[in-house]
Amino acid sequence: MPGKNLSRDEAQQRAGILAVDGYRVRLDVTSAPDPAAATFRSTTTVAFRCSQPGAATFLDLLAPAVRSITLNGRALDPATAYDGARVHVDGLAAENVLTVEADCAYSRTGEGLHRFVDPADGETYLYTHYEPADARRVFANFEQPDLKAPFSFTVTAPAAWDVWSNAVHESVTEEGAARTWEFAPTKPISTYLTAVVAGPYHVARDHYSLELADGTTLEIPLSAMCRKSLAPYFDADEILGVTKLGLDFFHEEFDFPYPFGKYDQAFVPEYNIGAMENPGCVTFKEEFVFRSKVTDAAYEARANVVLHEMAHMWFGDLVTPRWWDDLWLKESFADFMGSYGLIGARTRYSSAWVTFANQRKAWAYRQDQFPTTHPITADIRDLEDAKLNFDGITYAKGASVLKQLVAYVGSEAFFEGARRYFKRHAFGNTELADLLGVLEETGGRDLKSWAAAWLQTAGVNALTPQVTTDAEGRITELAVLQDTADDPATPSRGVLRPHRIAVGLYDRDADGALVRTERIELDVTGTRTVVTEAVGRPRPALVLLNDEDLTYCKIRFDAESLEALRTGLGDIRDELARALAWSAVWNLTRDGLMPARDYVALVLRFAGQEGNIGVLQSLHAQAKTAVDLYAAPEWRAEGARQLADGALRELREAVPGSDHQLAWARFLAQTAGGAEHLGLVRGLLTGSARIDGLEVDQELRWSLWLALAAAGQAADEELAEELAADNTAGGKRQYTQCLAARPTPEAKAAAWSAVLDSDELPSAMVEANTAGFSIPAQRDLTVLYAAPYFKLLEKVWAERTIEIAMRIVGGFFPIAQTDEQTLAEADAWLSGHPQAAPALRRLVLERRDDLARALRAQSCDRA
């Protein structure tokens, strides 16, 4: 498989004969402030050994031009040695030095070295992002995780800039209008983990010290940075405070000192993902710098990501998967540790497991029911496979299974295994067997069968209680039934797993709340497991399986328990139990087992009682999806009206100035459609209407303008005036989405053309256009684009970077049509393009599955 898409077989062959001793990378980015400059100079010198002298190999490089290639003093002709993706070299010696000088391209897609010009002040900012394989856009290298090496970076940049990389800088030399930054060599790390951040960033600095067991002191310089125009909003003290708590916690749990010297955290513009664990130089999306009021759920999410990336310093950076098959060895662990750490590090976010159960697992359940689902340890044939496997299986399902593993072997055995794992494999690469080996040592259990069931199979199990009682209402038998919870459109995977669960029995207390009266913990195996301890107890109002969320499964209910939820879901006092109930009824809705209008009724009845703000915001999003996609088309208008009325009612009743008030205001903006709702929206914008305690700040203003734009009630000049008042990167994204959201054929055509007729749009602007274009209520305007969409897929995949192509394929898929004709068009494309890129087929197949699920849910709702 030649070209950009490196295969696993090629990587294994290369690793079989090569060992890399080190890289020296020199970058000259003094041209960056010039918008006409498309490239920067990159010079790489790599020293490596070859166990088969005389052999040939290749380096990876994606660059517009290669100036020179020198191997062991011998000049190679770039015209023949470089094919646009690889630098081919032959006649290798036992020890080699290769130098490649190239002109590499500044990126506008967040892949490689991304360049951003701040519309607020004209300043230019650079940062790198590589995972899984975009370091080759910045310097020539062996782009695979198991050829680790030390890296020494030298960066020449404008004199007014600061520059950061993975290691500390050793010197800064002034050279007229430029400065050259020399960085110390890193520890051995993988290419995708290297990083450069450069520009006139605003920086906050701090320091962390820890007395180690050997009597020495670990000193870690800390910094956090963002663009200068965001400095007034940057709460660096909060970020650095969470950082220090996390360092305390991970040092205590992992018993391995932080190995990468300093700890910088850069919040950067137009970032494609949430964050990236570059050792010593972590990058985050700058949306975590909150320009306006956000709910506490947003602060919790940011703190979770801070700890997630910090966990990677050990799981992923210190010890790295050999190939992307074992991506879970870092991402599942980091996802688990993000939530575990919020509580263990004693942050103020004590509801982390509630958020995990309600949000992260929802992602996992959805991904795990696609026909494209895969085991946690996946079969990753190439880099395109790897790119798509940063998904709900690798992150959220993997983290859920690790939570089950902790329940299975015990937390002390789990963390002792982690400590041995780090010491045994420090700065190396591992596979599944390496981790299982240490956990078997510490846990005293044979984990091979456990791993076979949990890590090497796909699909989600469903657990359902079966309750029988005697004439006096006492339980004669309580059994847990297990099935595979497969999507009815796909063949059964037939995998039943061992589950360590808690069963909660809930009844009304004197105040009318649903509270747990009994907790029974047991192992569930096979199709039917009897809960012997329940026999003789009074029949409770609610039987909640997987109480405390110990395992990964869907939970169902017996008829009496489901009726208790219909009449009293909001009365469950424990917030984790309540979140599990909400998650369960949402899964019933997605699976076509509960009518969408019944789910909407539950939300309208009980969401106003929901105390957890993160759960409330999830309920808003899910109720909107239920109306837009899962409700019978003839009920959609009524469902939308009910949501808007409910949002308005709860907004007026919410505590002034509270997070809940803000959440309901945003939900009103998402659902507003009638004259009363839109009148209030405009009144809040103009100041003619007021809700006591509600601050209509910039972000909320854009949400309100989006509601008016989608309703055709925002004039062009009004939106332009709002942009003039908020001429920022965030403002431009919001303005673009508003333009695309207008309910006119011209607006849809303009958004379609902006994305497809130019490859200059950064990913953030692609998303703004597709989001505005694809408003479900405007399906009559976008239906004409379904056929053209399927015709352009292969062209988009061939001509765009994979990051942009993924956003176009997902963003423009005609999911809102939810009709049999669109499903048939998707099926026709899939059957007619069996040779299309597997990663493209996977994306289309998953969107097709969403569409089929929506149709099944509509049938349930209609019935």
Residues forming the active site: 309
Q: Which residues fall within 8 angstroms of residue 580, CB to CB, at 6 or more apart?
A: 357, 544, 546, 547, 549, 555
> What is the Cα–Cα distance from 848 to 180, expressed in whole angstroms?
51
Left if phi > 0, otherwise alpha if psi is -120 to 50, otherwise beta: which for 499? beta
Please calculate the CA angle 373-378-383 and round it to the nearest 5 degrees: 100
Q: Which residues fall within 8 angstroms of residue 680, CB to CB, at 6 or more apart?
A: 648, 668, 672, 689
- Partners of 82 in the beta sheet? 87
> What is the Cα–Cα distance from 375 to 541, expressed in whole angstroms?
37
Sheet holding 281-285, edge to edge: 202-211, 217-226, 263-268, 281-285, 275-276
Q: Which residues fall within 8 angstroms of residue 118, CB to CB, at 6 or more apart?
A: 124, 125, 227, 228, 229, 269, 728, 729
Q: Are 667 and 652 in contact (CB under 8 A)?
A: no
Q: Strands 554-555 and 462-469: what pairing?
A: parallel
Q: Fill in the DSSP letter of residue 186.
A: P
Cβ-count burial 12-50 (b if 16+ within 10 Å, e if not): eebbebbebeebbbbbbbbebbeeeeeebbbbbbbebeb
> What is the Cα–Cα distance from 501 to 464, expressed in whole angstroms?
12
User: Residue 48: what are its φ and ψ, rounded to 5°?
Assistant: -150, 155
Q: Which two tokens stand for residue 166?
A: 């993975």
How would you class 594 by CB atoms within 10 Å of its CB: exposed for 0-12, middle for 13-18, buried for 19 or more? buried
> What is the Cα–Cα distance from 45 to 58, expressed in whole angstroms?
14
> What is the Cα–Cα distance from 696 to 852, expressed in whole angstroms?
39
> What is the Cα–Cα distance from 826 to 814, expressed in whole angstroms?
9
Q: Are 154 and 27 in contact (CB under 8 A)?
A: yes
Q: Which two tokens stand for residue 726?
A: 């908020």
Q: Are 399 and 332 in contact (CB under 8 A)?
A: yes
> What is the Cα–Cα distance from 208 to 217, expressed in whole angstroms?
10
Q: Which residues fall within 8 angstroms of residue 761, CB to CB, at 6 or more apart?
A: 108, 754, 755, 769, 804
Q: Which residues fall within 8 angstroms of residue 45, CB to CB, at 6 or more apart?
A: 23, 24, 25, 97, 98, 99
Question: Which value, in Å, is the radius of gyration of the alpha carbons in the chain?
Answer: 28
Q: Which residues fall within 8 angstroms of residue 829, CB to CB, at 6 or more apart?
A: 790, 793, 844
> What is the Cα–Cα distance from 286 to 12, expressed in whole angstroms?
37
- 656 prior amide bond cis, ω within 30: no
Q: Which two tokens stand for residue 328?
A: 């879970």
